Amino acid sequence: MDSTEIWKNCIDGVGKHISPQHLATWFKPIKVLGGGESTLELEVPNRFFMEWIKDHYALLIQDVLRKNTKKDFSLMWKVSTSEAAKPDNAPQRPSPKKPTTTKKKKGANSKNPLSTKYTFKNFVIGKDNEFAHAACSAVSDHLGSKYNPLFIYGGVGLGKTHLLQAIGNKVLERSEDTNVCYYTSERFMNEFINYVSRQKMAEFRKRFRNVDLLLIDDIQFWSGKERTQEEFFHTFNALYEAHKQIVVTSDKFPKDIKGMEERLRSRFEWGLVADIQPPDTETKVAILKTKAKADGTILPDDVALWLASINSSNVRELEGYLNRVIAVSSLTGKEINLAMSKDALKNLTSFHDDRILSIEEIQKAVVAHFNIKISDLKSKRRHKTIATPRQIAMYLARKYGSFSYPEIGDSFGGKDHSTAIHAVKKIEKAVKEDTDIRQAVNRLINNLGVG
């Protein structure tokens, strides 16, 4: 196999371990320059990209290459020059010049103030938002020169608005004279319509094309709005050519935004695209505790874990539940505990106490209960002291994790799906007939917060 084919097979293998979004973000831009019998020379867009790949995916890449080729490969990374990395259809940018427009004071955008509650300092970092946070922080330190535009995408309530406004707040904290403009996409569109109706488009263009930093939130709402897209297209070009920073957010990857002009979607990918994935339980616990602390409330660990384990990837929704618990405690004088929290939320129509456990959570709980190791669960050992906990873990994964039998088997050391089926059936029967098994399962259910 030549180097290109080896790398293609490697990407296919890596794709089995990471999300399609991460694969597109981190592996699609890598180019194969060549290689030898056990070496690969790879080109990446920039140094930040290279360091991120090395820190987060180097071991995975090496493992996949070893599995595919039965060899240990050496990876040689080369950072592309800025000109080589620039898209062919990108406009030629002039050399930086001193701004000719008059800087506006912080109050110039008083109609659209940034919320001071959104900062980098109070943003809780987890593995699912780490890259987006790092990219936003880098942009705030190097306006117009690094990752322009920056496109952040992810589901509702995951922190896109927080990071977007944190950029603006950090820039203004460093220099109040910087002209920062933050708009929701809806507000931008309404302003555009207003200026068109008053036949004052020259004023509109002056307002948005003389900024140093343009922040647009939820750009997917322009889907099908052709005139708004047309105007933003020209605004984008004017700012980009003047080395002004553009940051936008969306709930979808650029190419997945239906009703968005192709020329805009392609421009959103000129700089850097960063995704935010739903947080894991540990990150949600940290977010809730940070939020409670900011409100002057001590949140018990079991309450934080229970709230974090609710079947919701929307952090904003979980914070709403927390606010309800804190409010009930404040108004009634009741101490915040698990029973009180469940009672406070039981009548909310939007609240559903449904936990979907991860297999990792289940495995951790089982090994702690039986005083064994994760490696024991994934081993081939058949001694009862290992086999029974393994079967219980598979049973819980099926009942409370909604995983398929092949997924369960694969998560326990690559077991066959028939092994998982046998384990689940055996524990289902044992729960009815064996007191010790029933007690162990019930205790684990309570510990996992699904009882």
- What are the pLDDT tens digits along the chain (451 aa)? 788 999 999 999 888 887 676 777 778 889 899 888 888 999 887 777 787 788 778 888 988 999 999 888 888 998 876 534 444 444 444 444 433 333 444 434 444 578 888 999 989 888 888 889 999 998 998 888 778 899 999 888 889 999 999 999 999 998 888 999 999 999 899 989 988 998 889 999 998 999 999 999 999 999 889 999 999 999 999 999 999 999 999 988 988 888 999 999 889 988 888 989 888 877 888 889 988 998 889 898 888 888 887 766 778 888 888 999 999 999 998 999 988 888 888 776 456 555 567 888 899 989 988 999 999 999 988 899 999 999 999 999 888 776 778 889 888 988 888 899 999 999 999 998 898 899 899 888 877 766 5
The alpha-helical segments, DSSP class H, found in 353-383 are 359-370, 374-377
337, amino acid identity = N
Q: How far apart are CA 385 and CA 249, in angstroms?
A: 51
Q: How far apart are CA 419 and CA 409, in angstroms?
A: 7
**Is 315:287 a contact under the CB 8 Å cutoff?**
yes
Strand pairing class (74-79; 39-44): parallel
pLDDT of residue 343: 86
Q: How far apart are CA 356 and CA 77, in angstroms?
A: 40
Helix (H) or strand (E) holding 287: helix 281-294
Q: Strand 272-276's sheet: what is its strand order? A: 180-184, 213-217, 245-250, 150-154, 272-276
Q: Is the bond preceding 149 in cis, omega lying within 30 degrees of 0?
A: yes
**Is 2:40 a contact under the CB 8 Å cutoff?**
no
Tell me if the pTM is above 0.85.
Answer: no
Q: How far apart are CA 115 and CA 112, in angstroms?
A: 9
Which residues touch 240 (CB under 8 Å, ≥6 apart)?
91, 93, 148, 149, 246, 267, 270
- Per DSSP, the three-state class of 275 is strand
Q: How far apart are CA 194 and CA 28, in angstroms?
A: 41
Q: How far apart are CA 10 and CA 27, in angstroms?
A: 10
Q: Which of 154, 261, 281 is nearest to 218 (CA)?
A: 154
The alpha-helical segments, DSSP class H, found in 117-184 are 130-141, 160-174
pLDDT of residue 168: 94
- Per DSSP, the three-state class of 85 is helix
Domains of the chain and any CATH numbers: 3-82 (3.30.300.180), 109-276 (3.40.50.300), 281-345 (1.10.8.60), 359-447 (1.10.1750.10)
**Is 180:114 a contact under the CB 8 Å cutoff?**
yes
Burial of 138 (0-12, 13-18, 19+ CB in 10 A): middle
Q: How far apart are CA 185 and CA 27, in angstroms?
A: 30
Phi, psi of 80 (to 5 degrees): -65, 150
Structure tokens at 227: 């005139």
